[in-house]
Amino acid sequence: MATIPSIQPQELKETIDSGADVTIVDVRGPHDFDEWHIDGDNVEAVNVPLMQLQTVDPTKLLNGASNGEVVAVCASGQTSQMAVQLLQQSGIDAKNLQYGMNGWANLYVYQELETDTDATVLQFSRPSSGCLAYMVLSDDEAVVVDPLLAFVDNYIEVAREYGAEITTAVDTHVHADHISGVRAFATRSSADVVVPDPAVARGIDYDVAYETVAHGDVISVGNSSIDVVHTPGHTSGMTSFLVDDAVLLSGDGLFTESVARPDLEDGDDGASDMAATLYDSLQNRILTLGDETVVAPAHYSDSAVPANDGSYTATLEELKSKMDALSMPEAEFVEYITADVPPRPSNHEQIIQTNLGQVDTPNYVAFQLELGPNNCAASQESMTQ
């Protein structure tokens, strides 16, 4: 087993991003595969449980889709080593994904956004789930927005690399798809823990001191400013953050390929009312910003197309031109985004309770709870043309 060729998660992502053909031989069970797997426009994901792979000719299972990189995947990177051996015995040059899907879930990357801001804005991306977080840096200060608990130390280290200290950690809303890292900054740094004031009413019960921000407030970071813009609709507390009047950290209110789903707080019964609230937020607080405003959301889906710089961002002008939902009358908009809402994020109730501080979830359990896609948009398909 020590001689089994392997590929690191970072290397696999770089290969996929390069546009090269990749075949993923996923040897987990069908349920786990259907729940979440590695995907992409140039990725052919084949689910072949190991026992099946042991009884048939692998070349027939792959249907010839093995011309590019072939990578065997399981949950932890152990079982898939045996899959690599079987593939190699059939003449297929395969590699094993180091640490499996757990390693893929631990992959976290960031890049500087190309924006017209005095501050430096970093976009952090978790490819396994499409979760995005942000860091706004100015002088020797940094604000982190929508941090994930699993990567709190990463943010602190990146800020240090930029010669800055994180002074504020804030969430755009109470997340339903991942465990927030906001509270962890109270014990791992000197940063202020901040939540949107409207979110407190949902039952926030933190074990650390926290501050609140409301619509119209300003968060200062170095020589830059972050305006607080309450944009309810996805949740009642959903709040966006406008950096230097140029970059809108839109949370789950507006994505580059869709708009928010409206059912995660009040369920199906309250979805229509929340959709109407979202319509008002979009029309009166987001779409009134300048067309060159860069929208930087908290998630992206498989249908999202990266911008020219590789980030998951788009200008308001671009979104207006290609997303019909943004120009619909209210009644049509409400009907449209409530008609075919995707399945709710896995374990969303426990994740919400954890993020409210109502239950104590150990870190290793938290990591397992948030595995898989985020499903926070109104549709799993792109709403853009």
Torsion of CA 272, 277, 280, 282, to 10 degrees: -90
Paired strand residues for 242: 227, 248
Catalytic residue, from 7, 43, 71, 74: name it.
74
Give the residue from 273, 363, 336, 292 showing the smallest Cα distance to 114.
292
User: Catalytic annotation on 376?
Assistant: no
Look up residue 232 and give its two tokens.
């309810």
Tokens of residue 210, six digits: 């926290």
d(CA 190, CA 208): 12
Closest listed residue to residue 122, CA positions, set 309, 264, 284 = 309
CB contact set of 156 (below 8 Å; sequence gap of 6+): 166, 188, 189
* Joined tokens for residue 173: 């809303």
Instruction: Tell me the C-alpha to C-alpha distance, in Å, between residue 282 and each of 278, 301, 328.
Output: 6, 20, 11
- CB burial readout 232-243, b (16+ within 10 A) else e: bbbbbbbbbbbb
Query: Burial letters for 311-330: b for 16+ Cβ neighbours within 10 Å, e otherwise?
Result: bbbbbbebbeebbebbebee
Q: Looking up tokens 């595969």, which residue turns up? A: 33
DSSP-derived letter for residue 254 is B
Q: What's the CA gap between 83 and 64, in Å, rounded?
A: 17
Strand partners, 266: none
- Looking at the annotation, which residues are catalytic? 74
